[in-house]
Each structure stands twice: as structure tokens, then as C-alpha cells.
Amino acid sequence: MLAIWGTRYGPSDVNGIVQAAYRLSPGLHSVVLVTDRTRDGIDARVRQVAFPADYDRAEFFGRGYRSKLAVFSPQVVPPGLPCVFLDLDTVVIGDLGRIAALVQGPDDLFMLPPGGLGFGALRRVRDRVKGDGKFPVGNSSILAFHADAAPNLAETYASRFGAGDTEATRMVIDDVIIAWFGRGRVKGVPTSCGVMFRREFLSRVPGWAWFKAWLPGVQRRRSQIAAVTFNGVAVKPEQLATLAEGDTVSDGRGRSGPWTRRAIGPLWSHLQATVQPTAASPRPCEDHPG
């Protein structure tokens, strides 16, 4: 499942993911692109579908990217199947079937976990004890869910928003809405399946990114990763493509690390092959797609 709107991303971004997914994921059933308009130049294997009316709203395409919730809609998902959603700034480097396999039933929902206690049992206990109404919020750049989930996230939010429900109308960020809907059952995508580049390869602790890459367990885990997402303004693929080996990468949030074969480890060749071609095609900073 992919989503696109506006002008920031184009066919090459979609096709890069699609081609890698078909090449590396032998069990891939289909690719669905939810779009604000029919796009020319998209890989012929992709089924393009329009945003459902409930999510084809200017306010949903703006701050918070609530339009992304349309990827859960029964109007767009292939019925009866586990689904994997990827943001368009994600690089596929392994079998996405490993992420899809996390979904064992209609109630399963996975997203990239938050830092600290993540979505674990200790965090749930903490939330119950404090009773402050807060809940952990992950990141929606990589999602796994079942098409037949009932209740359905997209339908639930659209219904409550349309009815003027206070809780629904004050939530404007897709990550928050997904975590709210899956509260108590949402799980984190394992770091052996999918990761954020800035969290996996950068660190706020000086030297840790270098040391971490030498750990045998980390090397084994990284060799299994299926998808790396480059969320964060300062670590987009086109920016990494301008770096020379040995440069320092910073995410603008206190994390940094070396852009070297030694530090990136076994994923170096995959990332280099993927990000280098985008350097000549900077993206205009206009509308932000999902």
C-alpha cells in the first residue's frame, strides 16, 4: 500500500519502491497506490485508486496528513489479505513478506515503535497506573495491518470526525490517530524487519553509531531488514546522496553518525545503490504526500 498527493513525489519514487518490492518479495500479491489523481508513468503493475471521499479533503492533505488513513479503507485495500504500507521516502532492501507475516489476524496492527518503552507491557502498565489518558504514539512510515480489520480504522475515524466527535476532531496527526485506534493492541514493527534510518544508524551518544555497527547481533539483525524509511527533513535520500564517505550525518534532532561503509554495515551497498540516483532530481518542497 502506497499513497501520494501533491507534487513533492512522483512516478520515480513510486516505481523505485514497486520494482524493489516485486524483485525482493516473491509472495507479493499486488501494489495499490492511493492517489489524488491518475498518475502517468507509474509501473503498470500498480493499481491506482482515488482517495475515498471522506479523505479527499484539503484539510486532511495538510498538517497531520490524515489523508494517509485512507490506506486502511475497505474501498482501497485488497480484501482478505495482510497489508504493508510504506511512505514514499522508504527504501525496500528485503522481502516485505517478513513484515506482512507479522499480521496473523484481523485485529493485528503494527507501526514503527516510539522510543523508550515502545508499545511493550511495561508501557501499558505505566499508562494504566498514571491514568492520565496518554498513550504511546509510534510512526506510520511503515505499517502492517489486515484488510478485514473490524472495526475499520478509516471508517471509524471518518464517522466520528463527520459527527463532530470532540476526541476525533482534535486529533490531526495520522500517527496519533493510528495509535489511538490501536491503543492497547498496536505493536511495534521489529527492528529486524523495518527501521527509521535516523534511529537505527544515528545516535545522540558520541561514538555509539560506530561501536553499534561492530556488534555481531546488530550485524545479523541488519542483514534481515526489509525496509528503511528516511523520515525526517535532514535525512532524505537525496541529501545523503550528496555526502562523501566519511562525512557525518545529522538529523537535526541531536542524532549523528558516520556515512561510512564501516558504520552502516551490510546495508551500505543497498543504501548507496538506492540513494545515489536521486541526487540529480531534487524535490520541490510543496505539498507533502503520505
Whether 161 and 208 map to the same domain: the answer is no
In a domain? residue 159: yes
- Among candidate residues 169, 188, 207, the one where a domain is terminated: 188
Whether 207 and 170 map to the same domain: the answer is no
Q: What is the distance between the alpha carbons of residues 151 and 91, in angstroms, rounded to a whole number?
A: 31
- Among candidate residues 172, 188, 204, the one where a domain is terminated: 188
Q: pLDDT of the chain along its 290 residues, tens only?
A: 999 999 989 999 999 999 999 999 999 999 999 999 999 999 999 999 999 999 999 999 988 899 999 999 999 999 999 999 999 999 999 999 999 999 999 999 999 998 776 777 777 777 667 655 667 789 999 999 999 999 999 999 999 998 888 788 888 899 999 999 988 889 999 999 999 999 999 999 988 988 888 899 998 898 899 999 998 777 887 777 778 888 888 888 889 988 888 788 777 777 777 665 444 443 433 344 44
In a domain? residue 17: yes
Split into its structural domains, the chain has a count of 2
- Among candidate residues 188, 218, 233, the one where a domain is terminated: 188
In a domain? residue 290: no
Whether 78 and 178 map to the same domain: the answer is yes
In a domain? residue 286: no
Whether 181 and 208 map to the same domain: the answer is no
In a domain? residue 288: no
In a domain? residue 287: no
Whether 82 and 180 map to the same domain: the answer is yes
In a domain? residue 285: no
Instruction: Enter the pTM of the model.
Output: 0.89
Whether 178 and 220 map to the same domain: the answer is no
Whether 199 and 182 map to the same domain: the answer is no
Whether 104 and 231 map to the same domain: the answer is no
Give the three cell numbers for residue 44. Answer: 503498470
Whether 155 and 177 map to the same domain: the answer is yes
Whether 183 and 202 map to the same domain: the answer is no
CB 154 within 8 A of CB 57: no
Those residues with Cβ within 8 angstroms of residue 154's Cβ, 6 or more apart along the chain or in another chain: 52, 54, 55, 69, 70, 71, 72, 73, 74
Whether 18 and 155 map to the same domain: the answer is yes
The CATH code of the domain that includes 148 is 3.90.550.10
Whether 122 and 54 map to the same domain: the answer is yes
In a domain? residue 133: yes
Domain that holds residue 22: 2-188
